[in-house]
Amino acid sequence: MRYAPNPDPVVQEMLRATGLSSLDDLFVDVPEEIRLQCLLPESRGATEMSARRQLEELALANYTADDSPIFLGAGCYDHYIPTAVDAIVGRSEFVTAYTPYQPEISQGILQAIFEYQTAICRLTGMDVANASMYCGGSALAQACVMSAETTKRKIVLIPATLNPDYARIVETYAGSGLFETRTIPEQNGLVDLGALNATLTAEAKNVAAVVIQYPNFFGNLERVGQIIAATKGVGALSIMSVDPIALAMLKSPGEWGADIAVGDGQPLGNAMSFGGPHLGFMAVTKKLLRKIPGRLVGETVDSEGKRAYVLTLQAREQHIRREKASSNICSNQALNALTALVYLAFVGPLGLKQAANASHRIACYARSELKKAGFEFQHDAPFLREFAVKVDNPREMNRYLLEWGIIGGCELKDGLLLAFTEKRTREEVDELVYFMKDFQFGGAGERLTVDENDGASASDAE
């Protein structure tokens, strides 16, 4: 077998040297009644050529962002990835290494994580960043756990403007009983400050943390200053979930005065990959240094005084503290964190600002073109590269767009959440607006509805 290379005569020789006569002898300690004859259905391994063909066929069955302009965001973005990123991140010394427990032969990975931690601290304006988390959602959930433990309070306030996927993850983690949530409603796509203040007044010293997503799920920019001031007023921690590319233009969590910054690092050079692997990041103030979950790399010296890097503060971690650990995280998303670092190195600070700026410009252009076409918007708050447009029938609208080779936006109730990156061109936006207009106002929608009444749906017509 390809991946168990010892040929049969060698296997026989090894068995003899081990004092056994057959491979079955290796499993005499497994009770007879649970020993398996063979897995069903029986199948032979595929040759590399046929396995590859099968995989390519499955891949071809998906539409990709290469085939169609895509206006989906909602936590995962089609940003440009410089060619050099994959060449570096694909190096097998990085890909096939384990967690750097042996620092003498892992300095490359340790230094890269140290550089990544530095980059995240600088982007977010925070003091300490860990080596990465699973995703933006679980990073936020862990931040909630950490807040409850630090403040010895239970309630975490979750805005209705939070990415619903994140909200569900937080809710699932809250099932542990380690913290509980209250939802703060929205108004015009922003946190309802009146409701926030009322809850803070009512719950006061029970509030562990307030969560702010910036830009929020709808793409809008929250009134962060007021939210954090109110949060500090009751002695709670503020957790900001941020977008790393947006931070090139927007005020950082550190500048706003947040205690914890989390987010998803996918936009930094990581392929969308149908939702993962991406990375979550987490950064905190100095005060929370010993509370942060996950791996940390620190600088030290070797026995000859040379600067070197090592996993540190491991007393917080599961393999030392077991049930008293600050979290159970072990494997994280190291290679994705490396990808983020490599991306930042190749685009540089100017490239990152350009990516944010170009995304904002094309989003502004799309918004004004949609407005000219007669569309209204769900909110009129400031936004960066994503906004929600009112649409009568979002699902059917997306189907219609797809017929014209466009992957539309994220479906909301009575609207589409449209995201724009530096990859979207003026021509693509013009087409989007043209077909959206055609569907909403031009009778294309009605034509479809009539078809459906006749028993033929849009996809059947395709």
Partner 1 sequence: MKLLYEKHVKGSNYFRFPLQDLPEIDLQETLPEEHWRETPLGLPELSEVEAVRHFTALSKRAFGVDDGMYPLGSCTMKYNPKLGEYAARLPGFANVHPLQPVETVQGALELMYELSLMLSQIGGMDAFTLQPAAGAHGEATGIMIIRAYHKHRGEDERRRVILVPDSAHGTNPASAANVGYEIRVVKSNERGRVDLEDLKAKLGPDVAGLMLTNPNTLGLFETDILEISRLTHEAGGLLYYDGANLNAIMGVARPGDMGFDVVHYNLHKTFATPHGGGGPGSGPVGVKKFLEPFLPSPVVVKTDCGGYDLDYDRPLSIGKVKTFYGNFGVCVRAYAYILSLGCEGVKRACQHAVLNANYIRKQLADDYDFPIDELCKHEFVCAPKKLEGGSDVHTLDVAKRLIDFGYHPPTIYFPLIVDEAIMVEPTETETKERLDDFIAAMKQIAKERRETPDVVKAAPHGTVVKRLDETRAARNPVLKYEEPLS
Residues of span 137-156 touching partner 1 by CB under 8 A: 137-138, 145
The verdict on 30 binding partner 1 (CB under 8 A) reads: yes
209: three-class secondary structure by DSSP: strand
Q: Could you tell me which stretch among 56-64, 152-160, 193-201, 437-445 binds partner 1 (CB under 8 A)?
A: 56-64
Let me know: does 221 contact 214? Beta carbons within 8 Å.
yes
Residues of span 381-410 touching partner 1 by CB under 8 A: 382, 384, 398-399, 402, 407, 410
How many Å separate Cα 217 from the centre of its chain?
13
Helices 164-174 and 136-151: crossing angle, nearest 10°?
Answer: 40
The verdict on 460 binding partner 1 (CB under 8 A) reads: no
β pairing state of 415-419 and 410-412: antiparallel
Q: Could you tell me which stretch among 20-28, 154-162, 430-438, 442-450 binds partner 1 (CB under 8 A)?
A: 20-28
Q: Return the C-alpha torsion angle 65, 70, 76, 81, nearest 10.
A: 50
The verdict on 373 binding partner 1 (CB under 8 A) reads: no
Q: How far is the CB of 244 from partner 1 (least distance, A)?
A: 11
Let me know: does 230 contact 163? Beta carbons within 8 Å.
no
Residues of span 169-198 touching partner 1 by CB under 8 A: 169, 171-173, 175-178
Residues of span 427-446 touching partner 1 by CB under 8 A: none
The verdict on 377 binding partner 1 (CB under 8 A) reads: no
CA distance 352 to 358: 10
Tokens for 220, please give them.
């809008």
CA distance 339 to 116: 9
- Tell me which residue has tokens 């995304």: 359
The verdict on 413 binding partner 1 (CB under 8 A) reads: no
State phi, psi for 190 to the nearest 5 degrees. -130, 160
Q: How far is the CB of 424 from partner 1 (least distance, A)?
A: 9
CA distance 240 to 447: 45
The verdict on 455 binding partner 1 (CB under 8 A) reads: no
Q: Which CB, 30 or 202, lies closer to partner 1?
A: 30
CA distance 124 to 141: 18
Q: Which CB, 238 or 398, lies closer to partner 1?
A: 398
Sign of CA dihedral 98, 101, 104, 107: positive
The verdict on 374 binding partner 1 (CB under 8 A) reads: no
The verdict on 135 binding partner 1 (CB under 8 A) reads: yes
Helices 107-124 and 334-372: crossing angle, nearest 10°?
Answer: 30
Q: Which CB, 138 or 150, lies closer to partner 1?
A: 138
The verdict on 107 binding partner 1 (CB under 8 A) reads: yes
Residues of span 61-90 touching partner 1 by CB under 8 A: 61-66, 70, 72, 74-76, 78, 80, 82, 84, 86-88, 90
CA distance 440 to 436: 6
Q: How far is the CB of 202 from partner 1 (least distance, A)?
A: 25
Contacts of 437 by beta carbon, 8 Å cutoff, 6+ apart:
373, 374, 375
The verdict on 336 binding partner 1 (CB under 8 A) reads: yes
Please tell me the number of Cα atoms within 13 Å of 194 on its side-chain side: 3
Residue choice 262, 342, 391, 433 for contact with partner 1 (CB under 8 A): 342
Q: Could you tell me which stretch among 16-24, 181-189, 370-378, 430-438 binds partner 1 (CB under 8 A)?
A: 16-24
CA distance 181 to 198: 15
Residues of span 263-322 touching partner 1 by CB under 8 A: 264, 271-279, 289, 295-304, 306, 308, 310, 312-315, 317-322
The verdict on 124 binding partner 1 (CB under 8 A) reads: no
Q: Could you tell me which stretch among 26-34, 182-190, 200-208, 444-452 binds partner 1 (CB under 8 A)?
A: 26-34
Residues of span 187-246 touching partner 1 by CB under 8 A: 221, 225
The verdict on 132 binding partner 1 (CB under 8 A) reads: yes
CA distance 432 to 401: 8
CA distance 82 to 85: 6
Q: How far is the CB of 440 from partner 1 (least distance, A)?
A: 18
